[in-house]
Chains A and B, each alone.
Chain A
Amino acid sequence: MLNPKQFAAFALMAVAATGSPAAAQLRVVATTPDLASLAREIGGSTVSATALAKPTEDPHFVDAKPSHIVTLNRADALIEGGAELELGWLPPLLENSRNAKISAGAPGRIVASQGIRMMEIPAAFDRSKGDVHAMGNPHFLIDPLNAKIIARQIASRFSQIDPKSAASYRANLARFNARLDLKVAEWQKQLAPYRGARIVTYHKDFVYFAPRFGLSIVESLEPKPGISPSPAHLASVIRKMKATNAHVILVQPFQNRRTAETVARQTGAAVLNVSQQPGARPNTGTYFDMMDNLVNTLAGALRTQ
């Protein structure tokens, strides 16, 4: 005869055997692969997380494809970067998704920028200064301590919309934080010898990363955010790189490597293929892998300078 505990265990096993585990998963849609990766870290096997943007795709310029409408229509939660990162493509998708679970203000609508100490919030809205974001620079997830803040928000919201798995989300969050603490220490150690090193980026997309690891961004190849590099600006970048002894240019997959190479030829700098998105570089399926790749690539280049 089964006691109540054994009976409950047996019943749970029976339900698990007959039911489809996939059907019970929380369907999470993230706008970008880095946010999807955090969702997987916190959700574990309880959630299925997909990203709308490809890892190699510029998150500012994603096509609002009809298939995305279907994905959003079935989502239990949406994680967006916010701070106008997806302003050019997400609104029409949401308008058509007809999903109250992810409407603005709903528990399933997670805006990553909330709770982040935003950088580069413009004092005045002026497009003569380029395509600046009114709510600040949206490339904040590249700072691992911001990943921690976002992970906590994700765990909180997942627990709210799926209370039965709250303990699991909490445990996953603790595990994520513990691992991240170790990795942050490791990444700090790797880059410690190069504190104060000057780097150049294509877009203003490493402004959260650089101060975290004691690096200094001397210039961007774009003269202003979203404005294509002009020869005059590149000439000034070259002068500045020579004057400040900057030897590294970071380029993401969707940025113009040839422009960076032109500058590199004049300055002897190394052009590094890096990405802020898991999956864009080989063997970088998770946020940790992506950060490992970024730190290793950067440390390797700075070491050889």
Chain B
Amino acid sequence: MKGRLIVGALFLAAPCLGLAQTPSERARRDSVARADSIAKADSIALVRELEKELGGVAADTGTAAQAPRGSGGYMNIGFTALTDAGWSTEPDVGSLQLGDHDPHVRGFTIPNAELTLDGAVDPYFKGFTSIVFKLDENGETGVELEEIYVLTSSLPHNLQLKAGQYFAEFGRQNPQHPHSWAFVDQPLVLNRMFGPDGLRGQGMRMSWLLPTSFYAEAQVGIMNSRGGTTWSFRSDESAEIHGGVPVEREVEGFGDMLIVPRIATSFDVSETQTVLVGASASFGPNNSGPSASTRVYGVDAYWKWKSATAQAGFPFLSMQGEALFRSYDAAERTSAEDPTHILPEETLKDRGAYAQLLWGIKPRIVAGIRGDWARGDDASVQTPLRADRFRLSPNFTWYPTEFSKFRVQYNYDDRTGIGTDHSLWFQFEFLLGAHAAHKF
């Protein structure tokens, strides 16, 4: 108590000492004075508030000083750029790294710079647009309207409609944008089933959140079956699958559209663990013949553990896997390589899977490993895209902040009939603008 009195006396005497004070003492005095001023101002405000309360529950307060700024505009704007650099034992890197956003060449590449715009259109719709810029091997810039859609916000009965151009909700990774990927490149099996850019197209999707006590969501999309991003269907590039000359086929009925159903459910296994499982399919015509069709089925699972006292989301452990099966009815067709040769009617069957494990060791440091496997049954024509392949990819990512990351990844790649290749890729990402919210 005596000590406190001395401190108190000194404190009271301090203003009289004036110039004798050290800078830290002056700072302390200012801080206390500021605190007193705040307390006084608040107590006046408090009396006024209590007076109001006596007259009933007061209306919400709000002052001009608290008007939303920055994030409260009509539109959130974000810009994410992924740049890669690396080396591979395979001279033709394009034959190894098949994804549109994979590193394409030895040396430097900028495969993906994505401008995103999103916000409420009006009380009924939310809008989203993603415009992708990319540089090819020759340094030429390409621009792509990757996604542009509206999403309803007020349909009854837990329904939600999406309409526009969008990534089909097939499995876990297909709808994700490249900056959300845990690896530099696309899983082999997704490339095999859906091509370098994933399954994407124009259409609409209805989703229903089931009235269950746990999370369960059913979705069905209807999309155009034609275009560069409908690889297993009427894509111009699908000759790489069936080896024949593509047949022009107009949309005449519902059966010429691409249907993508999905169901997913999730459980919190414990306070720190969550599981999400889903099953997806896509059905539609292909262009090997006038009435040929394709069916792709997939299952996916995701498990995550995150410490109850995670710092900035770390440490965590997550596992993700997807398995896909494709049944491609190839009609009798003219060989694309030899017009005098007719390929027989047959069903091409492909399957593949990947599994990845991520360990968020400590804040902003993640180690990962992914195993990739894909194979196709024998057919009358052999294409590299259907060859058996295995790939193992350990990687390591460092996030200086949420807005940038460095990644290094090694790929051991074993292609049947070609042999093994070794690649080492470095990736750097930066984000400007609106903070991207993380989906589970």
Does B61 lie within 8 Å of A115, measured CB to CB? yes
- The answer to whether B71 touches A228 (Cβ under 8 A) is no
Which residues of A in the span 157-195 have a Cβ within 8 Å of any Cβ on B?
A: 157, 159, 166, 169-170, 173-174, 177, 193, 195
Q: Is A25 positioned at the interface, with any CB of B under 8 Å from its CB?
A: no
Which of A54, A121, A214 is within 8 Å of B35, CB to CB? Answer: A214
* Residue B126 interfacial (CB < 8 Å): yes
What's the least CB distance linking B425 to chain A, in Å?
26
The reply on A70 being an interface residue by CB < 8 A is yes
Contact check, A63 vs B159: say whether CB atoms are below 8 A apart. Answer: no
Quick check: is B46 within 8 A (CB to CB) of the other chain?
yes
The CA-CA distance from A136 to B72 in the complex, in Å, is 13
Q: Is B363 an interface residue (CB 8 A)?
A: yes
Binds A, one of B141-149, B264-272, B387-395, B414-422: B264-272
Checking A56, A117, A174 against B65 with a beta-carbon cut-off of 8 angstroms, the contacting residue is: A117
B66 touches A118 (CB 8 A): yes
Closest CB in chain B relative to A136 CB, distance in Å: 8
Cα separation A211 to B184 with both chains bound (whole Å): 48
- Of A32-40, A127-135, A284-292, the stretch lying at the interface with chain B is A127-135
Q: Are B57 and A148 closer than 8 Å at their CB atoms?
A: no
Q: Scoring B residues 416 to 440 as 1 if CB is less than 8 Å from chain A, else 0, what string do you get?
A: 0000000000000000000101111
Give chain A interface residues in 8-47, CB to chain B under 8 Å: none
What class of interface size applies to chain B in its complex with A? 35 or more
Contact of A166 with B57 in the complex, beta carbons under 8 Å: yes
> In chain B between 27 and 46, which residues have their CB closer than 8 angstroms to a CB of chain A?
27-29, 31-32, 34-36, 38-39, 42, 46
Distance of B406 from chain A, by nearest CB (Å): 15
B153 at the interface (CB under 8 A from A): yes
Q: Which residue of A lies closest to B264 (CB)?
A: A66
> Bound state CA distance, A58 and B316, in angstroms?
14
Contact B71 A92 (CB under 8 A): no
In chain B, what residue has the closest Cβ to A118?
B66
Does any Cβ of A come within 8 Å of B382's Cβ? Answer: no
State whether A214 touches B268 (Cβ < 8 A). Answer: no
Contacts known (A69-B215, A155-B57); A148 close to B46, Cβ less than 8 A: yes
Instruction: List residues of B (268-314) whose CB comes within 8 Å of A's CBs.
Output: 268, 271, 274, 276, 304, 306, 308-313
A243 touches B215 (CB 8 A): no
B20 on the interface (CB 8 Å rule)?
A: no
Q: Are A212 and B39 in contact (CB under 8 A)?
A: yes
Given contacts A54-B308, A117-B65, A214-B36, contact A84 B437 (CB under 8 A): no
The residue in A65, A157, A212 that gathers the most chain B C-beta atoms within 10 A of its C-beta is A65
- Decide: B58 and A152 in contact? CB cutoff 8 A: yes
Task: Give complex CA distance A104, B123 in Å.
Answer: 9
Contact present for B24 and A244 (CB under 8 Å): yes
Whether B437 and A89, one on each chain, are in contact in the complex, defined by CB atoms closer than 8 angstroms, is yes
Give the docked Cα–Cα distance between A64 and B267 (Å).
13
Contact B438 A84 (CB under 8 A): no
Instruction: Decide if A98 touches B311 in the complex (CB within 8 Å).
Output: no
Q: A67-B266, A115-B66 are in contact. Are A56 and B309 (CB under 8 A)?
A: yes
Nearest-neighbour CB distance to chain A for B15, whole angstroms, equals 13
Set of chain B residues within 8 Å of A54, measured between Cβ atoms: 271, 308
In contact, B209 and A98 (Cβ under 8 angstroms): yes
Given A95-B153, A244-B28, 13 further pairs, Cβ under 8 A:
A54-B271, A56-B309, A67-B268, A95-B126, A98-B153, A134-B69, A135-B72, A145-B42, A152-B49, A173-B57, A195-B11, A195-B32, A256-B311
A-B contact pairs, 29 of them (CB 8 A): A54-B271, A57-B309, A58-B311, A58-B313, A61-B312, A63-B274, A64-B440, A66-B217, A67-B266, A70-B214, A70-B215, A87-B435, A89-B437, A89-B438, A91-B437, A95-B151, A95-B153, A98-B155, A114-B66, A116-B66, A117-B63, A149-B49, A152-B49, A152-B61, A156-B60, A174-B53, A177-B53, A214-B39, A226-B312
